[in-house]
Amino acid sequence: MIETTVEPKYRAFSLHNFRSIPQMELLTEEELFDIEVVGNVLPFKVNNYVIDELINWEDYQDDPIFRLTFPHRDMLRTAHFKQMADTLRHTDKRKDIKQVANEIRLQLNPHPAGQMQMNVPEIDGIKLTGVQHKYRETVLFFPSSGQTCHSYCTFCFRWPQFTGMDELKFAMKETELLVRYLEKRQEVTDLLFTGGDPMIMRHKVFSQYIEPFLANENKTNIQTIRIGTKSLSYWPYKFVTDPDADDFLRLFERIVKRGINLAFMAHFSHPVELETEVVQEAIRRLRSAGVQIRTQSPVLRHINDSAEVWADMWRKQVNLNCIPYYMFVERDTGAKHYFDLPLERAWNIFRDAYQQVSGVCRTVRGPSMSCTPGKVQILGVTEVAGKKVFALRFIQGRNPDWVAKPFFAEYDPRASWMKDLKPAFGEKFFFEEELARLYMKKAAKPEHETLKMEISEN
Ligand SMILES: *Cc1c(COP(=O)(O)O)cnc(C)c1O
Ligand code: SF4
């Protein structure tokens, strides 16, 4: 148990006050300016736990958590960096800075097209804009009060949701519509709360979203509630010393007692996030409330691009009774050029790490790309009929029939995302025609006229 007499108080830092972080004295004026330039385009928010417990300031420039949370000049392309730097040198008008920021953001593929247009369901003619239903069994829900996080990851593809561009924001006020939709869709067994980070919510707000599923009159077929969260990495006090920590644990217990499987899809990027006393205590408390913790993260250059880091992380997770779940490939938005790795390298990291751990850690699957047709796993580089190829398979498919069928792409040492891949045999991948048909069907509405067929995006 952690003995604390004072509750650690959450303090957030972003552009307007980060210079008051004591550790900023270690940085040069140029580095501070770089943070301002990039932080005006990409999300930037960090808190006292991340600063004081996770970052090793003696080596901050190469520190994985510093890289994960603090903007770096190379995260913007040179021209974009210069454009914003010049703007900041010439004006301090919020409006002008914002306009330049938005111009740059729109060039960073902020909203993979398919995500906006293909997955938003309707009920009785009403668009459920805070809901995505892509895979038959699982519905993603973006509660409007969960669209922020305790800190921001600089690589995050969710960043358009944080940056005040309302037209890009997924949000939905009522659970009511969601429940109505789920009642009609008995094939949906899993409800996945996501964001942002739903665990940013106070218990009072979060329980509003959950109560309908605990009520006797609930007629949905929800058997698993998942919560996608990085709170265990960024603010584990949430479940230990925050004023409503115990209320959360009691709510979680009620969900589990109701016979619903409750799973945290916990985002851990590096083993250091598992090493503090308070995160270990938070995991113990969640586990004793009956919460399952499954773990996932993208593999990222500068942060966790080594097999040793992943093997160490999976082993530590299992030792804390967490279940390794996914290794993702960073998707093609935002600062991808800074973080991305060739698919072959991602696979080698996965394979080397997987070989180092025992079977209990091998519940993990990856590296996986979440793109328009589904979640595509890179099984490896191999040879078929004398030709060097990537072997791939769907872990999830827009059509469930696609899942677990191996297929092949031409070997390309520079490929880093689905859009870089070409079929190894024949003209098209086996799923392409059907995907195009699904796409046309959804895009039949006039406002989607300009929609282009893309297989690289969500
Ligand atoms: C990953 C994902 C899910 C969940 O998939 P599982 O393989 O069941 O974890 C659901 N919906 C979307 C859109 C996803 O990307
Ligand atoms: S915690 Fe999750 S949603 Fe929030 S910035 Fe990081 S990756 Fe994005």
pLDDT digits (tens, 9 = 90+) for 14-70: 999 999 999 999 999 999 999 999 999 998 999 999 999 999 999 999 999 999 999
Domain 115-442: CATH architecture, name and number where available: Alpha-Beta Barrel (3.20)
pLDDT at position 453: 31
**Cis bond upstream, residue 160 (ω within 30):** no
- Contact by Cβ (8 Å): 198, 206: yes
Mean residue pLDDT across the chain: 90
> Looking at the CA of 373, which ligand is closest?
1
Average pLDDT over residues 390-415: 97
Lowest pLDDT segment from 155-164, 267-276, 320-329, 373-382: 155-164
Ligand 2 surroundings by CB, under 6 angstroms: 149, 152-153, 156, 158, 195-197, 230, 267
CA distance 109 to 112: 6
Ligand 1 centroid from CA 365, angstroms: 13
| pLDDT at 451 > cutoff 50 | no
Residue 120: pLDDT band with limits 50, 70, 90: confident
In the chain, what are the domain boundaries? 12-105, 115-442
pLDDT at 126: 82
CA of 25 to the centre of ligand 1 (A): 42
Residue 364 vs residue 171, higher pLDDT:
364
Report CA(242)–ligand 1 centroid distance (Å).
30
Model confidence pLDDT, tens digit, residues 410-446: 999 999 999 999 999 999 999 999 999 987 876 555 4
pLDDT of residue 457: 36
211-215, 248-252, 453-457 — which one is most confidently predicted on average? 248-252
The pLDDT score that the predictor gives to residue 345 is 98
Distance (Å) from CA 360 to ligand 2 centroid = 27
Quick one: which ligand is closest to 233's CA? Answer: 2
Q: Are strands 126-127 and 122-123 parallel, antiparallel or unpaired?
A: antiparallel
Q: Is 115 in the pocket of ligand 1 (CB under 6 A)?
A: no
How much is the pLDDT for 166? 53
pLDDT at 458: 39
pLDDT in the model for residue 169: 45
pLDDT score recorded for residue 282: 98
Run of H or E including 13: strand 12-13
Q: How far apart are the first and last CA of the chain?
A: 43
**Does the structure show a pLDDT above 60 at 381?**
yes
Q: Which two tokens stand for residue 378?
A: 């890179």
What percent of the chain stands above pLDDT 90?
A: 79
Distance 234 CA to ligand 1 centre (A): 23
398 in ligand 1 pocket by Cβ < 6 Å? no
User: Which helix H or strand E contains 210, and what residues bound it?
Assistant: helix 203-214
* Ligand 1: residue whose CA is nearest its atom 12: 134
Rounded to an integer, what distance in angstroms lies between the CA atom of residue 395 and that of residue 393?
A: 6
Is the pLDDT assigned to residue 159 strictly greater than 80? no
Give the C-alpha separation, 175 to 154, whole Å: 30
Q: Which of these, 7, 1, 5, lies nearest to 245 by C-alpha position?
A: 7
Q: What number of CA atoms fall less than 13 Å from residue 43's CA on the CB side?
A: 27
- CA 1 to ligand 1 centroid distance, Å: 35
Measured distance CA(347)–CA(380) in Å, rounded = 6
Q: Which pLDDT value is given to residue 94? A: 93
Q: Is 134 in the pocket of ligand 1 (CB under 6 A)?
A: yes
- CA–CA gap between residue 276 and residue 233 (Å, rounded): 10
Q: 124-133, 197-206, 244-253: which range is least confident on average? A: 124-133
The region of weakest confidence among 4-8, 217-221, 361-365, 421-425 is 4-8
261's CB contacts (< 8 A; 6+ apart) are: 223, 224, 225, 292
- Please determine, for residue 157, whether its predicted confidence score (pLDDT) is greater than 80: no
* pLDDT tens-digit readout, 274-306: 999 999 999 999 999 999 999 999 999 999 999
Q: Which atom of ligand 2 is nearest to the CA of 194?
A: 3
Ligand 2 atom closest to Cα of 196? 3
pTM comes to 0.92
Interatomic CA distance for residues 349 and 313, integer angstroms? 13
pLDDT at 130: 83
